[in-house]
Chain A
Amino acid sequence: MTSPASTDSVPPQLSAGPRPAPGPAADEGLARRLRALACTAPLHDLDARKANLAGEYSVYGMAEIALAGIDLVTLNMDFDTGADHDQIVARLIPRVAAQAPARPAAEHERVARWVLENLINVGSVDRGFRAVYGTFGPDGAYVRRDYDFKLIEEVPGPGGTVYLRTTDEAVNVLVGALDTDVTSAQIAAEVKLEVLINRGRLADAQLAAEQARYRTVQYSETLRRALDATRRNVRAVDWLTAVPDMIAEALDHVADRYRHENAILTNIRRARDETEEPEHKRRAAELVDIVKDCIRRHTQLQSRLLEAGPLFRAEQDRQAFATPLTSSGTDLYGHLLAPTLPLPLEQAGRVTDAFFAHGTGLRTPVSVRVADLVDLLLTPPVEREHLGAEMPEPDLIATPDDSRFSEEQLAAAMELLDLPADAPRRLSGLLAEARRTGDPELAYLVALLAVHAASPPVGTAYRQGEEKLLFAVDDGTELTDPEFGGADLIVGTALLDAAGMAAGRTEAA
Chain B
Amino acid sequence: MTEHVDRSEPDLDGAPASAAVTPADAADAARLVAFGLQPRLQPARDQEYAELLRRHREDPAFARLADAVAAGLGLVVLEVSPRAGMAVTAAEDSVFAVRMGDYARRAATDSGDRFLHGLAHLAVAALAFPRPEDLADDGYIGRVTVNGVDAFVRQACRRLEERAGEQGENTDPATDAPGLEAAWRIWARRSATGATKDARRPAASTTGIVAKALTFLTESGFLQRTGDESGGTYRTTARYQLQVRDMAGAAALAELLDLGVVPVTDGTPSLLPAEDGDDLELVADAGLPFHAPTQP
Instruction: Give residues in A with beta carbon < 8 Å to B.
Output: 24, 27-28, 31, 35, 85, 120, 122, 125-128, 132-133, 135, 143-148, 150, 153-156, 158, 160, 162, 182-183, 219, 222-223, 225-226, 228-230, 232-233, 235-238, 242-243, 246, 249-250, 253, 319, 322, 324-365, 386
Q: Contact: B183 with A358, CB < 8 Å?
A: no
The segment from B8-16, B22-30, B42-50, B281-289 that touches chain A is B281-289
**Which B124-171 residues have C-beta < 8 A from chain A?**
125-126, 129-137, 146-148, 150-152, 155-158, 160, 168, 170
Smallest Cβ-Cβ distance to A355: which chain B residue = B252
In whole Å, how far is A17's beta carbon from the nearest beta carbon of chain B? 27
Q: Contact: A350 with B259, CB < 8 Å?
A: yes
Residues in chain A near residue B41, CB distance under 8 A: none
24 intermolecular pairs with C-beta atoms under 8 Å apart? A147-B172, A153-B191, A160-B199, A183-B290, A222-B287, A225-B287, A226-B284, A253-B290, A329-B129, A329-B134, A332-B125, A334-B263, A338-B156, A341-B157, A344-B180, A348-B115, A349-B183, A350-B255, A350-B259, A359-B125, A360-B98, A361-B220, A362-B75, A362-B98
Q: Is B117 on the interface with A (CB-CB < 8 A)?
A: yes
In whole Å, how far is B129's beta carbon from the nearest beta carbon of chain A? 6
Given contacts A332-B244, A340-B122, contact A162 B193 (CB under 8 A): yes
Q: Contact: A330 with B249, CB < 8 Å?
A: yes
Q: Contact: B184 with A162, CB < 8 Å?
A: no
Q: Is B233 on the interface with A (CB-CB < 8 A)?
A: no
Q: Contact: A360 with B216, CB < 8 Å?
A: yes
Grouping DSSP codes into helix (H, G, I), strand (E, B) and loop, the A interface class, with mixed when no group exceeds half, is helix
Q: Give which listed residue, B151, B176, B255, B265, contacts A232 with CB less than 8 A.
A: B151
Q: Contact: B135 with A182, CB < 8 Å?
A: no
Q: Contact: A339 with B256, CB < 8 Å?
A: yes
**Which B176-204 residues have C-beta < 8 A from chain A?**
176, 178-186, 189-195, 198-199, 201, 204
Give bound CA distance, A133 to B173, whole Å: 11
Given contacts A333-B275, A336-B252, A359-B121, contact A223 B289 (CB under 8 A): yes
Smallest Cβ-Cβ distance to B190: which chain A residue = A126
Give bound CA distance, A128 to B189, whole Å: 7
In whole Å, how far is A205's beta carbon from the nearest beta carbon of chain B? 24
Residues in chain B near residue A236, CB distance under 8 A: 275-276, 280, 284
Give bound CA distance, A122 to B191, whole Å: 10
Residues in chain B near residue A342, CB distance under 8 A: 160, 182-184
Give bound CA distance, A126 to B208, whole Å: 12
In whole Å, how far is A54's beta carbon from the nearest beta carbon of chain B? 20
Give bound CA distance, A238 to B296, whole Å: 14
Give bound CA distance, A160 to B199, whole Å: 8
In whole Å, how far is B10's beta carbon from the nearest beta carbon of chain A? 33
Residues in chain B near residue A340, CB distance under 8 A: 119, 122, 183, 252, 256
Given contacts A160-B199, A356-B121, contact A145 B245 (CB under 8 A): no
Q: Contact: B172 with A345, CB < 8 Å?
A: no
Closest 5 CB pairs of A and B: A352-B118, A334-B274, A359-B248, A329-B135, A226-B287
Residues in chain A near residue B248, CB distance under 8 A: 354-355, 358-359
Q: Is B261 on the interface with A (CB-CB < 8 A)?
A: yes
**Which B196-229 residues have C-beta < 8 A from chain A?**
198-199, 201, 204-205, 207, 216-217, 220-222, 228-229
Q: Contact: A233 with B130, CB < 8 Å?
A: yes
Give bound CA distance, A174 to B199, whole Å: 30
Residues in chain B near residue A319, CB distance under 8 A: 131
Residues in chain B near residue A228, CB distance under 8 A: 151, 155
Q: A162-B195, A352-B117, A354-B248 are in contact. List 17 more A-B contacts (CB 8 A).
A: A158-B229, A182-B289, A225-B155, A246-B290, A322-B133, A331-B273, A340-B122, A340-B183, A344-B179, A348-B119, A355-B249, A358-B247, A360-B98, A361-B89, A362-B94, A362-B97, A365-B96
Smallest Cβ-Cβ distance to A359: which chain B residue = B248
Q: Contact: A358 with B111, CB < 8 Å?
A: no
Residues in chain A near residue B221, CB distance under 8 A: 361
Residues in chain A near residue B253, CB distance under 8 A: 330, 335-336
In whole Å, how far is A222's beta carbon from the nearest beta carbon of chain B? 5
Q: Is B114 on the interface with A (CB-CB < 8 A)?
A: yes
